[in-house]
Chain A
Amino acid sequence: MAGHHYLPNTPADRQAMLKTIGVQSVEELFADLPADIRLKQPLELPPAVSELEILRMMQERAGRNSNVDQFPCFLGAGAYDHFVPSVVSHLAGRAEFYTAYTQYQPEISQGGLQALWEYQSFMCELTGLDVSNASLYDGATATAEAMNLACGVTGRKKVLISAGVHPFYRQVVATYARDFGFAVQVIPVVQGKTAADELITLVDDETATVILQTPNFYGIIEDMTAFGEAVHRQGGLFVAVVNPISLALLQSPGEYGADIAVGEGQPLGLGLNFGGPYLGFMAVREKYMRRMPGRIVGQTVDIEGRRGFVLTLQAREQHIRREKAYSNICSNEGLCAVMAAIYVSAMGREGLRQVANSCLQKAHYAAQRIAALPGYSLAHTGPFFHEFVIKTPRPASEINSLLLAKGIIGGLDLATLEAAMADQLLFCVTEKRTSGEIDELVAVLEGLK
């Protein structure tokens, strides 16, 4: 094989280097590898293709998917189709950002560090808490890390989590909890809301944490204050799983007494990308700062007094503390956090409020119109943000198939998560959905009743 355009060594280069090294062939450099473990034949992989060929192949594969530009999408449930201004991809697409490694050498990483520090500032503002890290993997693992933090701080192992927390997040929490022997109990949801009376009887002095999501999985905005008070009376930590866009309008975790806020940062300027990369975020009260998992950027000065930024509080982390680290996280979602910073900067105070208000208004417009159709009704009565559950007159899967045939990606069929939730669709309406698309959805549903 003649060479490859990512591999600059020419045969002459290779010969010159071999000579410097003092060997005859590259093969000699691999002499340490025992013969019995050497691969005797080439890897069974498809032969190399050129750039033009791979582009055509990938275009063909991509073309087999129905994307949300062609099919208006009313799915949410942890991944949200928001408008992303052009500046986000253009700026985050700067190779100085995306081809860098973690900022171990701060003098040549000031750009990334400052962008992450700005991200941290925005997350503190949105959550109303004191300290944000520079990202975790996604909403589900951030929730699991919050549980670990709460159990570590309190030395307790009982975890109460609402059934209103995204079922996938609860499953990841269960995966993380199992090996630590944490006892995770699920608090039921009644009428779309976490059952407050059940929770109050379950919280005791062995409870490490109560974990609630708001708006919850069913879209309902929970009344968080009472839950926080209940767990605080028993010395546990209150964890809020929140949607960052909603925080432009809704009470912040800091205001209702949460100790830790976590969630999915994807709504802040990240594409859907079939589920990843997304952006786990975590913000905490100051007293838990030194227990927080993940990287944290701090402001400082250089020897000449100039402002600068560094990775700080590294004594928490795996590369220093090894088996005593509070988390094993190393690589995080740094570029996604930079994208979120750019998105929030571009939206700004007013733009983010407009996005949130637009979601709220359009979701209510859609919900009211659908619920007014014969056979359809809102499953719950509580206040909601941009998601809501509709009870359907026919199996939800049938409705979704028929919507798809009309070029619409419908809501989430809740029966796919739990058989008992048949004939229910979880819809999401973001600011991207036009009144025309909503009216079309309503018209199709009306025709299906």
Chain B
Amino acid sequence: MSELRQGKPVIYELSRPGRIGCDLPALDVPEQEVAALVSEHLLRSVPPNLPQVSEVDVVRHYIGLSRRNYGVDNGFYPLGSCTMKYNPKINEDTARLAGFSKIHPLQPVDTVQGALSVLYELQTYLAQIAGMDGCTLQPVAGAHGELTGLKLIRAYHHSRGENRTKVIVPDSAHGTNPATATACGLETVEIKSDPDGSVNLEALRAAVGPDTAAFMLTNPSTLGLFETKITEIAKITHDAGGLLYYDGANANAILGITRPGDMGFDVVHFNLHKTFSTPHGGGGPGSGPVGVKAKLLPFLPVPVIEFDGHRYSLQYDQPQSIGKVHSFYGNFAVMLRAYTYIRMMGPDGLRLASEDAVLNANYIMRSLAESYELPFDRHCMHECVFAGLKEPAPGVKTLDIAKRILDYGYHPPTIYFPLIVHDALMIEPTETESKETMDEFIAVMKKIAQEALESPELVSNAPHTTVVRRLDETTAARKPVVRWKDK
């Protein structure tokens, strides 16, 4: 760690005039004067200031940076709501096969039948898992799926001559839900949740009306609890003429056990980078496919993948479609990984994954209930939420606890979310963690609770062992330095 502590130059600081990090073939066609091909005023006057480094510099630099980063392959990553399960290595290999990674999106469809067959089957699998009638794979992130889903809902209402403008979201919702409503030109109506984070039916009844476009819901909720009144919720929403939207952030709890479509949802998005084991890439690329009930099929984005029993094709002629949502067909290489995962898990494996995810979360919840405040004393689903320390320690905040966890070599849980739980710590172990890993984590969490009482400054000044210590985020935002500039 001491070596890593010495700080890391940025790549520009390694730059020396004349160095080059790649080897390009000599030009094998007759070279013409650039100015003879493109007139001078269309050319740059000053070349971009890019680094000049050797290949070895590049390798050492980015290997060095990778050592200053922490992924799920490094260790336990119980980041609630993010489903940081293990990312199988075979997924990386299948996605890199040249027949998949080296095909152009505009090649003739007869030269990409293998790719289209995988997409077509994946759509079918996801629709089956969701209990839906069809699916589009084009959205490339959860929020992009939400955007696509709400646009589908708008188009559906419009096709019926209705201009419904309001989207109801619980106050426990992810920020993307209200932000997406705005991004679709819709208005958000936030309703208060019951103390346990479940939907308050009275509040929902009061909120729905002829202007309700949709109710967006995460189930299990963002508190990791299942909405027991989901059938009633669906009825209230549907009776008012609204549609029910399933935010799939927490779908890892329900695979093969229950399905959004059977709960009464009309539209669902999955996050392949959560539930279906594809890596998060430090913030993407993700994939956010959207499944729909039959009445919404005509509105799916183009192109639609069709199969006539012999040949797959890309169909653009969909008069009621919301249009295109991506340059091409979405994050294909991410879909390959999810496809690989689903085929390897099979129906029983997926179900067992959800059962173990729920078992593991309950194990951690019960094991920490003496040290951390458990706001709701009932079984959780795939994640559990604590409200800070059981015995509050003066001057020790939830943030401090998270930072102290870093000293013990784990990624901390999600903190301060959901907003409706004070000092929230949201722990999602996932099914791919062993009991030993969780036992070690539990011991660390208990120890930190003890430290908070006995030596609070140790906790409130954490982290102590990371490559940098706590960073000045305020100055970063007030006086942004967002790029390199030569001195």
Contacts and interface: CB of A to CB of B under 8 A. Distances in A.
Partners in one complex: yes
B392 interface: no
Given A38-B257, A91-B63, A301-B471, A58 B340 contact: yes
A40 B279 CA distance: 31
Interface in B428-487: 431-435, 463, 466-473, 475-477, 480-484
The 6 residue pairs across chains A and B that have the minimum distance between CB atoms:
A275-B328, A62-B99, A48-B346, A335-B281, A64-B114, A99-B71
Contact of B28 (A33, A247, A434): A434
Interface residues of A, number: 211
Residue among B93, B103, B282, B343 facing the most chain A CB atoms (10 A cut-off):
B282
A257 B282 CA distance: 33
B29 A296 contact: no
A197 interface: no
Interface in B325-383: 325-334, 336, 340, 342-353, 355-356, 358-360, 362-363, 366-367, 378-379, 381
Interface stretch (A188-196, A232-240, A310-318): A310-318
19 contacts: A6-B353, A21-B366, A37-B258, A42-B256, A42-B351, A58-B97, A65-B115, A79-B105, A91-B62, A96-B66, A96-B67, A99-B73, A105-B411, A247-B48, A250-B44, A274-B100, A274-B115, A331-B142, A345-B53
A120 B45 CA distance: 21
B346 A45 contact: yes
Interface string A225-269: 000000000000000000000011111100100000000100000
A272 B71 contact: no
A271 B51 contact: no
A36 interface: yes
A377 interface: no
Interface string B107-127: 110011111011000000100
A356 to B, nearest CB: 10
A17 B280 contact: no
Interface in A177-215: 178-181
A315 B281 contact: no
Interface in B125-144: 125, 128-129, 140-144
B98 interface: yes
A306 to B, nearest CB: 5
A349 B140 contact: no
A63 interface: yes
Given A61-B99, A171-B324, A330-B143, A364 B37 contact: yes
Contacts of B104: 68, 73, 75, 79, 81, 272, 274, 409
A256 B285 CA distance: 32
B102 interface: yes
Contacts of B62: 87, 91, 94, 115, 342, 345
B2 interface: no
Q: Which of A89, A126, A299 has the most CB of B within 10 A?
A: A299
Nearest to B23: A85
Given A39-B257, A77-B106, A94-B66, A102 B283 contact: yes
Nearest to A144: B325
Interface string A347-376: 111111111011011101100000000000
Contact of A300 (B283, B334, B353, B476): B476
A420 interface: no
B102 A34 contact: no
Given A29-B379, A115-B65, 10 more contacts: A20-B363, A39-B258, A68-B103, A103-B282, A106-B471, A107-B467, A330-B175, A333-B281, A348-B21, A435-B28
Contacts of A117: 10, 482-484
Contact of B280 (A7, A44, A249, A331): A331
A365 B29 contact: yes
Contact of B11 (A51, A319, A345, A385): A345
Given A83-B24, A345-B61, A298 B346 contact: no
Interface string B295-314: 00000010000000000000
Nearest to B467: A110
| Interface size class, chain B | 35 or more
A289 interface: yes
Nearest to B64: A111
Given A65-B99, A66-B107, A250-B38, A8 B434 contact: yes
A93 B89 CA distance: 11
Contacts of A321: 175, 179
B273 interface: yes
A99 B30 contact: no
A22 interface: yes
Given A37-B230, A101-B84, A108-B466, A91 B472 contact: no
Contact of B362 (A29, A277, A348): A29
B349 A75 contact: no
A399 interface: no
A323 interface: yes
A274 B328 contact: yes
A97 B66 contact: yes
A415 to B, nearest CB: 13
Contacts of A400: 108
Contacts of B19: 348
B431 A59 contact: no
B59 A91 contact: yes
A431 interface: yes
Nearest to A171: B324
B293 interface: no
B101 interface: yes
A348 B14 CA distance: 12
B55 interface: yes
B237 interface: no
A107 B323 contact: no
B282 A94 contact: no
A334 B259 contact: no
A14 to B, nearest CB: 6
Interface in B11-51: 11-12, 19-25, 27-32, 34, 37-39, 41-45, 47-51
B279 A355 contact: no
B344 A9 contact: no
A118 B11 contact: yes
Contacts of A223: 41-42
- Most B CB atoms within 10 A — which of A116, A120, A125, A355? A125
Interface string A128-164: 1011101101111100000010000000000000000
Interface in B174-209: 174-176, 178-186, 188
A349 B230 contact: no
Contact of B175 (A106, A175, A322): A322
A352 B86 CA distance: 36
Contacts of B29: 361-362, 365, 435, 438
B352 to A, nearest CB: 6
A381 interface: no
A289 B480 contact: yes
Contacts of B402: 105
User: Which of A7, A57, A83, A297: most chain B Cβ within 10 A?
Assistant: A7
Contacts of B96: 89
A289 B175 CA distance: 21
A99 B65 contact: no
Given A96-B67, A302-B469, A275 B58 contact: no
A255 B45 CA distance: 9
B328 A318 contact: no
Contact of B366 (A20, A47, A271, A383): A20
Given A97-B69, A249-B44, A361-B27, A348 B52 contact: yes
A55 interface: yes
A54 B343 contact: yes
Contact of A14 (B38, B256, B359): B359
B403 interface: yes
A140 B358 CA distance: 39
Contacts of A50: 344
Contact of A299 (B97, B114, B481): B481
A131 B262 CA distance: 47
